[in-house]
Structure 1
Amino acid sequence: MWSFKNIWFQIHWLIGITAGTVLIVIGLTGATYSFQDEVLDWANPGTASVPVQQSAALTPPQLLAAVRASGEQRRIDRITLYAEPGRSAQLAFAPEKGERRGQSVYLNPYTGAQLPAQSGREFFEWNERLHRWLLLPRDDGKPITGSLSLCLLLLSLSGLYLRWPAKPLSWRSWLTFNVRRKGRPFLWGLHSVAGTWVLVVYVMLTLTGMYWAFDAVRAPVDRWMGAPSRAAARAEQSAAQEAARKAPPLNIEPATLEPAWQGFTQLASQWQFAQMRLPQRADQPVQFSWWGADAPHDRARNQLSLSLDGSVQRDDRFADLPAGRRALAAIYPLHTGTYFGMTGRIIVTVAALMMPLFAITGWLLYLERRRKSRAAAKAQRALLEGDGPQPSPATGANTGASIAVVYASQAGHAQQLAVRTVARLRSAGLAAQLLPAANLDMAQLQPQRQLLWVASTFGEGQPPDSARRLARLLQQAEGTPLAHQRFGMLALGDRQYSQFCGFGLGLAAQLERLGAQPVFAPITMDAEDDSAWQAWLQALAAHWGVNAAPATAADNAAASVADSDAPDALFLPAQLLSRHHLNPGSSGQPLYQVELAFAPAQALQWQAGGLVEVKAAHAPAQVDAWLQAQQLDGSAAVQWRGSASSLRDALSASELPTLSAPATSAQAVADQLHPLAPRSYSLASLPADGRIRLYVRQTLREQPGAAPQLGLASGWLTAHAALGSSIALRLVDNPGFAPLVGDARPAIFMGNGSGYAGLRGHLRHRIAQGQFDNWLVFGERRRAHDSYAEDEVCVWQAHGQIERADYAYSRDARDARVQAAGQGPHCYVQDALRAAAEPLKAWLARGAVIYVCGSYDGMATGVDQALTELLGEEGLNALIDEGRYRRDVY
């Protein structure tokens, strides 16, 4: 099923590849037409203008006398003059029988002598007919060019919709793109951003063009604006022309025009342009069409009719017209850009000249997309024909009283909570089963009657990788296939993102759309929020009778029974062995290699890609400052979390409270403390190493009215905790980033910054297993200061343990200091992927698994976008469904 956006995409490219070529013609001819007067004047010096003289320019009666003196006896229809010194006058003769318009000539404004004709005018007349009617008869060409205007309008508006950026309030998102990109990203940036630059111009050109082309558009617009009927105006004009042709010739003597000219100059003392139409019959007046120095544009013309004796018959000023009539007069100046003066003409001309740019880049993008779609389909067929493990269906579906607990987890937290939920349900004597969202489809979901969902949100409202497939299936489902279901939702998220718990809340809405009935309102949970967990247990107690008491050791044991893969819930002490600053001099925040070790007797095991949760503490100086401000003794004994402690130790491991009133005792403070949530880090080592290795980037927390402070966990691990001290750790499985069981296929590792930790654990695991078909794509800032990964990887590569490694040092590329480092033109990890598109597809065709570790903002989203461009959405979804796109991002 196509999405609304996909429909508009299809419309956009269909119009582009069909009407685009003709739109190029219209754009180029319009640009040529814009400056035809200047081009003709340049090509024909001494015609449209002459050198300025000291003497005054001749008046129309004087020009007429000069023309008659030269022997010219043809009837004169109109005389056009400009107040600008040196600008030539123009004289138009009445049309001969069978002609639509008479000949026009230029006159020297100082002598009245006829000037040479302009060469090249025939070309511009041909160009105008091509622009307006495609060289077809007027009535045949107008509908076609009008339809092309509509096509350009649809292209412009659909392009705006399709490129709507994630940050619409950022002007950089709209108007800039990375000019250092190559290939499709560069073409897309040029096509979309340049289209934004000229969007307003194209909308203006298309709307005005459609007004002229379609009587069905023009007639109601004229009527709304209060303009007279076009049919009536044409009939009146035709009658006047016919009467003029039938009337006996009227040869006006120059002296006869003098009173009318004098009357005009008195009424229009500030005129800049004047067109004087001479009477063709004895009963006709002299008509003037003119504008003054204050005219808003060249179509803001005043109309004046004077008898030959100078008396006024009609004096209509443009400024006195109704607003609708004035707006109609602005349509042509808007179309040509003259409404905004020379600047407007230049902008419109440049926009018209850019039409070929959009057609060419659009065609290149279309052809590249077709090529990549075919390649992706071929790669996908190759993948599906491989012998890799396929997703297994969920088992144990029960349509009776069984309760299915479904988890959608990225890093394992949702799975942990789902396991604990199953343990509570089973402790209450209920039949409960644990189901991963990754293994569910509509056929397996529909028989369930009672479900509890524990759903994590990834990034800005996105589903975890393991739940992308199920999210698509729910979105595509129609009707009410889940009307028999009752469900509860525990939505997990991070309040630092604007779409807090966005996926879980959206999932609940989708389930309701399909008929499922919520037992209670969705519960949202930020990190390990004890109050949210208790609210969840209270809801389960109210509707299923579970025990809502706080967790005990028995609960942890039950959780392990409920799921053999449940992570160890206990924190164990580890000794801080060392910390080493990896990037001195870097423009980024300091990065430290931190090593810790458990007691030898513990012999703990973990998988590559796993996580460790660290119980951090506040810096001693910060705790002492708080105690001093509250005038409390940090050594005072208190009861905290069921055991004896000093107030200082309790504060160190808790959120420092903001007291509304002075504390009455140390115990009163301890009673309101909330423990600090643990921080997660990717494991960079293996159990065989005998120690825990972490890569910790120092972060800074802004303090109102004070200097920034180091982040809680990063500051504790890299600065505040003393070497040799004990730090509480908990190993956590990371199933979405773990190696595939028994997998010996190629692997591609992508990441940046401290994400090297998770990639390093996988690389060491594969090297230890003798699997050397590995490819690393890694990004940092500067090679001179941030090459800690490259130093180690080069050794592995030299021993044949890594097949390929690509590095993207963004700040080197930005500063163009790339020659000495040998760095290519690409700045970021996603750019390196695009540059290696063909090898990437070849690796994936061999069954390669992709592992991504690092920052969500920028790197991970960029990699996701690049893979979508290279493989297509279906190709990327196939990787996700097969578990071959595994991520640990933050």
Structure 2
Amino acid sequence: MKKLWFQLHWFVGITAGTVLMVIGLSGAVLAFREQILDALNPGVRNVAVQNTPVLTPQEFMTAARALKPHERVTSIILYDTPGSSARIGLAPAPGVRKGETIYLNPYNAALLPELAGEDFFEWVEQLHRFLLLPRDPGKVVSGTLAFCLMGLALSGLYLRWPRRVWDWRTWLTFDVRMKGRSFLWGLHSVAGTWVMVVFLVFTASGVYWAFDPIRDMADGWMGTLRPPREAAAAKPKAPQPPKAEAADLNPSWETFQKNAPNWHMAFLRPPERASQPMQILWVAKDAPHVRARSSMSINLQTGALLKSELYADKPAGARFQSVIYPLHLGTYFGISGQIIVFIAALALPGFGITGWMLYLNRRKQKRIARAERAQFAASASAATQDAPILMAYASQTGQAERLALQSAAALQKAGVAVHVQSLEQLTPPQLGQYRRALFVASSFGEGEPPDSARRFSRLLQGAKEELKHMQYAVLALGDRNYAEFCGFGRTLDQRLALLGAQPLHPMIEVDNGDAGALARWGSALREMMGGTADVTLSAAADDSDYATWHLAGHKLLNPGSVGFPLYEITLTGDVGAGWRPGALVDIWPGHYGKDATPRRYSLASIPQDGSMQLVVRQVGLASGWLTAQAATGDAVRVRLIANPSFDAAAQTAPAIYIGNGSGIAGLRSHLRARVLEGATRNWLIFGERQREHDAICAEEIHGWRSSGFLPELDLVYSRDAEGGGYVQNRLRERADAVHAWLNDGAVIFVCGSLQGMAGGVDEALAAIIGREQLAQLAEQGRYRRDVY
């Protein structure tokens, strides 16, 4: 479950989270809207205090009619604060939602200047509330995003739930001396805890305002349910009595002042007709918040008090409803609440940025681990010993896997037989088959096993196997800034010893890739090799074996797409060494220097093309440099990487190619090779967003189709009404054809994101042919994936 919630958390975070950054920034701008407007407009909403009486509402009404003779006054807002201007609301023009507000001098009713900056804040409010969309669809979008933020907050709480629940330091502090991913994770999780309550207030109020059914249901619970909108719209209009334009407001105002001596703000609504009462909403000086409004209804002609309702006498539900808006703005707690809301709103972009950094770092570590795995597989030689050593790893970000592969490669080079396996696939009975086992184990969170090792850890805790015949060693990876340093490694070491296994040497703990600790592990490996060679291990990726190519050009493949830009990059250089279809390439973003991390891409071309082509999504440092910053002719450092697990199938075998987005790169190299060889039994299933903007390599694909090299072609566009859906859905729809092709010996190639398309394709194939048969296809080399 935790792995599922983690995947949901990052997926929502890098999709909806990007738009939530905009909502957060706009919310921060609006947090001090009133204070900023007052600072920009001295002498408008507040004027110099004079030693003369403030005018009455009737005098303001008379002045407003003289200034705006063709417009109706709909509201008069007065404050008892000395020097506070009168705010006069005018009826909106036909088809306009909101009317004009003018400000009058409280001592002489002179018209004051327009409020500068108000239009800007109105625009920001529309962005914040509706993302500049029409009101109704904008409400739905913003409400959906509020749900997403609620999910991010709650799933984040679940994912960081510590062992020491009652230790407040674990919840609210982290060591700022941390570096790299540890610092980002600490900042992301702890800051999220700090603003958790504020975010839940944001989301609950946002959902309440966005969805009318939810608002009606909540209003019903609070006893403040409004009349149905349809009934109000359909209600016939009664004959209208004479207009109240010439009515005197003084009797009503005298009645109000007599019955509300402690008023601070009064909101008067002059009626349209003489027979209608004057409605006054008002806030007392000692009110708990700005929306704690009492109300009066007064006979306009006689000044008789018809109805008075104090805020304190309102039902609890109505009082709670009035709190929603001040809580959302933070004004419920005064200026300190506004500061808190401002900081929390600004934190939303911070979470988006740190979340993206953590996501890209995780992807980078996985790419590095895949490279090490490919290099290990490519250099594997026949073992010379009868009893192999098990090299098992538990990795969260790929570092443990990389070190395990480096260790295994060193042992294998010395003639020591090694079986490399992830703890994700290992069971205690399988472990018991080995006489020597080496473990490279990282820890996650507060000393917990990585997600991939949770099952093995649980099985090992309940195991009854005797391991007295086995010798073992543990290389534990961790970060001393965490209280449970190398927690999983220590737990693993203790459990193995309890089951009777004998340590080859004491457990070695590595703090953030410490070179000294890795050197000790290398010495231990050298002893197993008979002391014949030095072993050098590094937690960082190797940057050797690079060649210089040159950028020949880049072409935007998806103009107008709602997704990130996708470019075809062409590099020229020495193609003499060649590469196989499905090969990979490391690109070093040259101008960032030796401290950058290389980015790995699938090759979209074959050597016969005379150039190296990539399909690159403009995300990340290396991709941004390649697509936007590097100029034609610039040198590019390139390292070719063999990818035997995604190599081409035999020419005679049918081939099914499945992918989406930039995954077309690895598939295109295969298809170009098949066309060159004359192999015609090819089936391409490819997905993107919209046919109009995302028909990647469409001309080349349709050329293959018309030439007979793609007898089966399925192009799906998830956001189109026709041809919509996802790749995995199309697979299920074409289950009979999948069976037929597999019965003919077809090989399946999948290129794309493991947690996105590739994961869905895996589930679809398992549903079509069965999980066991799918595993058999993989063992036979007929299910090949280049996924990340």
Q: TM-score, normalised by structure 2?
A: 0.53
SS across alignment from 2:23: helix
Pick aligned residue for 2:274 from 273, 279, 282: 282
For 1:257, the equivalent position in structure 2 comes to 249
Paired position in structure 2 for 1:362:
355
Query: Which residue matches 1:53?
Result: 50
1:373: Cα distance to partner? 0.8
* Percent sequence identity over aligned pairs: 42
Are 2:349 and 1:352 aligned?
no
CA contact (8 A) 2:442 2:449 kept: no
Distance 2:105 2:281 in 1: 21
Change (3 A) 1:12 1:469: closer
Q: Mapping of 1:403-552 within 5 angstroms?
A: 445=429, 472-473=455-456
The alignment's C-alpha RMSD in Å is 5.8
Q: Please name the residue that 1:372 is paired with.
A: 365
Alignment of 1:16-35 (within 5 A): 16-35=13-32
Mapped contact 2:208–2:214 kept (Cα < 8 A): yes
How far does the alpha carbon of each residue in 1:521-556 deviate from its partner, in whole angstroms, 9 at most, with x for none?
xxx99999xxxx9xx9xxxxxxxxxxxxxxxxxxxx
Q: Answer yes or no: is 1:334 the counterpart of 2:327.
A: yes
1:88 and 2:85 equivalent?
yes
Matching of residue 107 in structure 1 with residue 104 in structure 2: yes
Aligned with 1:281: secondary structure? coil
Residue in 2 that maps onto 1:127: 124
Structure 1: segments with no counterpart, 5+ residues? 396-407, 409-437, 449-457, 491-496, 508-523, 537-565, 568-731, 739-747, 778-834, 839-844, 846-871, 873-890
Report the CA distance between 1:304 and its aligned residue: 0.5
From 258, 276, 285, the counterpart of 1:266: 258
Give the structure 2 partner of residue 156 of structure 1. 153
Instruction: Tell me which amino acid in the other structure corresponds to 2:243.
Output: P
Inter-partner Cα distance in structure 1 for 2:84 and 2:232? 33
Gap runs ≥5 in structure 2:
393-420, 433-440, 469-482, 540-594, 599-640, 642-753, 755-788
| Alpha carbons 2:428, 2:465 under 8 Å: kept | no
Opposite residue 334 of structure 2, the aligned amino acid is: G
Rounded Cα–Cα distance in structure 2 between residues aligned with 1:461 and 1:66: 70
1:297 equivalent in alignment to 2:294: no
Check 1:230–1:337 CA distance in 2 against 1; reply closer, same or farther (3 A cut): farther
Q: Distance in 2 between matches of 1:260 and 1:775?
A: 87
Deviations 1:9-35 (A, max 9, x none): 111111122112221221122222222
Among candidates 212, 221, 225, match of residue 209 of structure 2: 212
Q: 1:382 aligns with which of 370, 375, 381?
A: 375
Q: Distance in 1 between matches of 2:442 and 2:210?
A: 49
Contact 1:19–1:151 under 8 Å retained in 2: yes
Are residues 238 and 48 of structure 1, via their aligned partners in 2, closer, same or farther at CA, if it must alter by over 3 Å? Answer: farther
| Other-structure match for 1:195 | 192
Give the secondary-structure state (helix, strand or coil) at the position aligned to 1:330: helix
Deviation at 1:306, TM superposition (A): 0.9
- CA gap of 1:444–1:334, structure 2 versus 1, over 3 A, is closer
| Aligned counterpart, 1:62 | 59
CA distance in 2: counterparts of 1:48 and 1:238, whole angstroms? 40
Q: How does 1:743-758 map to 2 (within 5 A)?
A: none
Give the drift of 1:196.
Answer: 2.3
What is the one-letter code of the residue matched to 1:89?
A: A
Which secondary structure does the structure 1 equivalent of 2:83 belong to?
A: coil
Please list the CA deviations of residues 293-319 of structure 1 after superposition, one character each: whole Å capped at 9, or x if unmatched.
221111111110011322221111121
Aligned-residue offset at 1:212: 0.7
Secondary structure in 2 aligned to 1:14? Answer: helix
Check whether the contact 1:489–1:504 (CA below 8 A) recurs between aligned residues: no
Deviation, structure 1 residue 278: 1.2
Note if contact 1:175-1:197 (Cα within 8 Å) is conserved in structure 2. Answer: yes
In 1, Cα distance between equivalents of 2:507 and 2:39: 71
1:34 and 1:349 in contact (8 A); partners too: yes
1:750–1:759 Cα contact (<8 Å) kept: no
Judging changes above 3 Å, is the alpha-carbon distance between structure 1 residues 239 and 252 closer, same or farther for their aligned structure 2 residues? farther
Distance 1:767 1:323 in 2: 78
C-alpha change, 1:163 and 1:474, in structure 2 (3 Å) is closer
Distance 1:231-1:392 versus aligned 2 partners, 3 A rule: farther
Contact persistence 1:461–1:503 (CA under 8 A): no
Q: What SS does the aligned partner of 2:207 have?
A: helix
Given residue 265 of structure 2, which amino acid in structure 1 is its aligned partner? F
- 1:257 is matched by which residue type in structure 2? L
Sort the Cα spacing of 1:209 and 1:837 in 2 relative to 1 into closer, same or farther, 3 A.
same
**Deviation digits for residues 126-149 of structure 1, max 9, x if unmatched?**
222221112222111111110011
CA deviation digits over 1:193-234, x for unaligned, max 9? 2222222211110111001111232121111111123526x8
CA distance in structure 1 between the partners assigned to 2:130 and 2:326 by the alignment: 19
State the distance in 2 between where 1:306 and 1:102 align: 25
Is 2:34 the counterpart of 1:37? yes
Question: How far apart in 2 are the matches of 1:836 and 1:121?
Answer: 46
Q: CA deviation at 1:249?
A: 3.0
Contact 2:525 2:535 in 1 (8 A): no
Structure 1 residues 525 and 17 mapped into 2: Cα distance closer, same or farther (>3 Å)?
closer
Name 1:141's counterpart in structure 2: 138
1:40 Cα offset (Å): 2.0
Residue 92 of structure 1 aligns with an amino acid whose one-letter code is G
The residue number in structure 2 matching 1:315 is 308
Distance 1:836 1:765, change over 3 A: farther
The amino acid of 1:53's aligned partner reads Q
Moved more, 338-347 or 56-65: 56-65
Over 3 Å counting, the alpha-carbon distance change for 1:96 and 1:145 in structure 2 is closer
Contact 2:242 2:274 in 1 (8 A): no
Deviation string for 1:273-298 (max 9, x for gaps)?
A: 10111121121111110010221111
Show the counterpart of 1:343: 336
Tell me by how many angstroms 1:88 deviates: 1.0
> Whose relative contact order is higher, 1 or 2, with alpha carbons under 8 Å and at least 6 apart?
1
Assess if the C-alpha contact under 8 Å between 2:443 and 2:450 holds in 1: no
Aligned residues of 2:442 and 2:488 also touching (Cα < 8 A): no
Work out whether residues 30 and 352 of structure 1, in 8 Å CA contact, stay in contact via their aligned partners in 2: yes
Change over 3 Å in CA distance of 1:55–1:503 after alignment to 2: same
How far apart are residue 153 of structure 1 and its match?
1.1
Q: 1:294 is matched by which residue type in structure 2?
A: D
Task: Give the distance between the partners of 2:305 and 2:533, measured in 1 at CA.
Answer: 100
Mapping of residues 684-703 of structure 1, within 5 Å: none
Distance of aligned partners of 1:212 and 1:50 in 2 relative to their CA distance in 1, 3 Å threshold:
same
Shift of 1:53: 1.7
Amino acid at match of 1:357: G
